[in-house]
Structure 1
Amino acid sequence: MSTGAVTGPLAGVRVIDLTQALSGPYATSMLADLGADVIKIEPPRGDMLRNVGPFHPADEQRPYGGVFGNANRNKRSVVLDLKTEEGVRTVRDLVADADAVVENFSLGVMDRLGLSYESLAELNPRLVYTSIRGFGDTRGGESPYADWPAFDIVAQAMGGIMSITGPDRDQRVRVGSGLGDTAASLFAVQGTLAALFEAQRSGRGQYVDVAMVDAVLALSEVVVNNYAYTGVSPEPIGNQLHGFAPFDVVPTKDGEVALGAPHRAQWAKLCAAMEREDLVEDPRFATDHARWLHREQVYEIVHEWTSRHSTEELVDLLGGVVPLGPINTGDDIFRDPHFAVRQMLPTVEVPGTEDRVSVTGVVPKLSRTAGAVRHRAPLLGEHTDEVLSELAARRTTTEGAPR
């Protein structure tokens, strides 16, 4: 696999990726999308995510799961056994002239391996060292749960978002995607980029500590805001949003659409479309708060009207008028011109075949130094020789440089 010329705002930045599963790899994939040279260090057995489906039919003898492929595009894979002195020594050599390290081992593992932030910062004072753990690292705060293992579902539960997700208080559910992982990834990227920017000015790196449960809490503003102001814990109300109405999934003649018209200007436009302009000044519905208090009547009126129209008719009537959209399935997304023109479904090759599959695209669109999905995720150890040869060449250059 040829990596080709690398462009993007992080071109020239080298990241040593000591992560597996989802939270860490998803973070480093975003850095790679923006041009960073991300060197993924894998144990001989490989990242556990390689064995998680969905799989392409050609991958039966060589697991290369779709989740792994999406979260590890644009990276180079090097196999090192960190249980050996040689493996640890090689990581330290790679870190010596890297810009950042990202890891998501359990608390204390990196310290026991001799790869703690403090030991690596002695080698490279400009190093930015980011960790992602369920409940953070003791360097960021002594959590009583620091030693607890965590998965996405635990982070969603303890971070609060599960308490408001579901049809009612008796049926609380996790958000369908791995939000506990990916939210932490986003904050890890934010912290890493901020620390890299600061290091350019100060010449000094620092430790970036991200807890999965903290990241979920930061996205649970409904829980925090309501309890902080009222002392009452909000409960699940389905697809509605506390304080806003109408704001829900509403029925159509042949399905459902998502509709939000909670503010006066939007409500007036919806009333006009329903030919019910009288509702705009009705005291029950005249203010945003009044519509929330009388939401049962609001939804009764809206549902009666939307149920008389097909989904396509409602999109034609209200699309671009008030916030409204169909509930897209995978099939819908792959046919939607928005995602095509926004390059949100780029394709990469499936190794060992002539097929190509889509991965998620780069979200931030930079006008001058755009990121890109340049190549597929690597095979296990695909770049070991390449990276170690580069390391040897740098050693030779450094040893021969005048002192």
Structure 2
Amino acid sequence: MQTHADTQTHPPGALAGLRVVDLTQMLAGPFCTQVLADHGADVIKVEAMTGDGTRITGPFCDDDTLREFGGYFQSVNRNKRSIAVDLKSSTGREILRKLIDSADVVVENFRAGVMERLGLSYETLRETNPRLVYGTVRGFGDPRSGESPYAQWPAYDVVSQAMGGMMGITGPDRDTATKIGPGVGDTIPALMLCIGILSAVHRARGTGHGQFVDVAMTDAVLAMCERIVYQTSYTGVVPAPEGNRHPLLCPFGLFRSRDGQVSIACATDAFWEKLAIAIGRPDMATDEAFATNAARVQHQQQVIDAIEAFTTVRTKEEIAAVLGGKVPFGPVYTAAEIFADPHYAVREMLVEVEQPGSARPVKIAGVPIKLSDTPGAVRRRAPLLGEHTEEILLATGYTERDIKGLRETKAVR
């Protein structure tokens, strides 16, 4: 069975010709470089001799005989090539330096100071590659952009969600902060870093000069929670968890159905009028207690009760038949419902790839950014550890004899 992992029929992508040396691990960094790879960049994933730590993280297919990597690694490392290098050795560091000298971009998410200790700081690298764009994503940023008192604190998604303000407005009530389900404390900073890198690449192509691009995970999360900043500044009131409601709009949130929940968002009075009629309450469209958003916010519970009188006696499918296409509406989907929905099939958002060691392909999330002339694509599965070491080194100028020697001394795998 041919999958996206073993066919090269896709066009090259808008970033074809952009070479990225990827020194990242876990989620934030790899997600950033994968977005670049999806759109055609040649991303060389430089791994330790033992590999990215997420290679051993599941889930794994039941029949996977290799256990080279599981779903986590597969999901955020597709379209990349892998080379395994011992950066603790001077030979390994020399190899990395040669790779970076011929690259447009290097991305890393080590703690601040690690690359400096390896003798591979941005300032050192730009001496031989002045057009280099050097991207970093760390919990609290790099000291070059402003030294945080937490600069040396390690951080994961849950930390940036907490300190960036996201958890502080999420939860069932004012006293119960709640973690957002997906790793947005990693993926949001990753997307911010993508924007920064591409901005710097654009400038470098015009001037020949690269620059340092720094994203703090906490800063990126705060930027996405922008509402809490202006609310506090304008009113002096500190926002708190709001459950499934919105403090400024009504109705805007989740509502119970017979088989789950649905989302309804009427940010305008025109949408509210359509909703009121659809749920059999045309009187609420003209009643001054509900006719405007400001009035509805003041009488929020009555609005919620009226809507749930309609939704709680119907299934999600039945509600969709009435509200779909009329007002902003969507059922709360499980992954099983996403797999069954034709929207995601026609948009190519569930992509099959080969899983080494398993007899069956697996599905990962597709490319959400759709370009008409140079579309992104899942062109290849995630790489085995060191799968492309030889081809990368040959292209860098090493001979087959050189590579044999490097392997014998365990400088590469």
Cα offsets for 1:366-387 (capped at 9, x unmatched): 0001110001000011111110
Q: Does 1:183 align with 2:212?
A: no
- Asked whether the 8 Å contact 2:66–2:357 carries over to 1, the reply is no
Post-superposition shift, 1:2? 6.3
**Is residue 195–residue 206 contact of structure 1 (8 Å, CA) maintained in 2?**
yes
Correspondent of 1:103 among 105, 108, 117: 108
Report if the CA contact (8 A) 2:68-2:356 is conserved: no
Tell me if structure 1 keeps the 8 A contact 2:106–2:135.
yes
Determine which of 59, 62, 67 is the counterpart of 2:64.
59
TM-score relative to the length of structure 1: 0.95
User: Cα deviations across residues 285-324 of structure 1 (Å, max 9, x unaligned)?
Assistant: 1211111111011111111122232221110000010111
1:271 matched to 2:276? The reply is yes
Q: Cα deviations across residues 89-132 of structure 1 (Å, max 9, x unaligned)?
A: 00100111100000000110001001110111111000000001
1:351 alignment partner AA: P
> By how many angstroms is 1:144 displaced?
1.2
Describe the shift of the 1:252–1:4 C-alpha distance in structure 2 as closer, same or farther (beyond 3 A).
closer
Which 5+ residue runs of structure 2 have no aligned equivalent?
400-413
**Counterpart in the other structure of 1:31:** 36
Gaps of 5+ in 1: 395-403
Residue 314 of structure 1 corresponds to 319
The structure-2 alpha-carbon separation of the partners of 1:256 and 1:3, relative to structure 1 and needing over 3 Å to count, comes to closer
> Of 177, 181, 197, which aligns to 1:192?
197
Give 1:62 shift. 2.3
Q: Secondary structure at the match of 1:257?
A: strand
- Aligned counterpart in structure 2 of residue 147 of structure 1, from 145, 149, 152: 152
- Shift in CA distance, 147/82, structure 1 to aligned 2, threshold 3 Å: same
Determine which of 264, 267, 270 is the counterpart of 1:262. Answer: 267
Picking from 43, 51, 54, the partner of 1:46 is 51
The normalised TM-score by structure 2 is 0.93
CA RMSD of aligned residues (A): 1.5
For the residue of structure 2 that corresponds to 1:378, the secondary structure is coil
**Alpha-carbon distance between aligned partners in 2 of 1:88 and 1:108, rounded to the nearest angstrom:** 16
| Closer/same/farther in 2, CA of residues 2 and 330 from structure 1, 3 Å limit | closer
Code of the residue aligned with 1:212 in structure 2: it is: M
Higher mean C-alpha displacement, 56-65 vs 213-222:
56-65
- Whether the 8 Å CA contact 1:3–1:74 is kept in 2: the answer is no
Which residue number corresponds to residue 232 of structure 1?
A: 237
Aligned length: 394
Q: Is the 8 A contact 2:65 2:357 kept in 1?
A: no
CA distance in 2, matches of 1:256, 1:26: 30
SS of the aligned residue for 2:246 comes to: coil
**Any residues of structure 2 matched to 1:2-401 within 5 Å, and which?**
4=8, 7-59=12-64, 61-392=66-397
What displacement does 1:275 show?
2.5
Identity of aligned residues (%): 52
**3-state SS, counterpart of residue 49 of structure 1:** helix
Alpha-carbon contact 2:83-2:389 (below 8 Å) kept: yes
Higher relative contact order (CA 8 A, sep 6+): 2
Deviation digits for residues 325-377 of structure 1, max 9, x if unmatched? 11111110111100110011111101133311111111110000111000100
Contact 1:55 1:63 in 2 (8 A): no
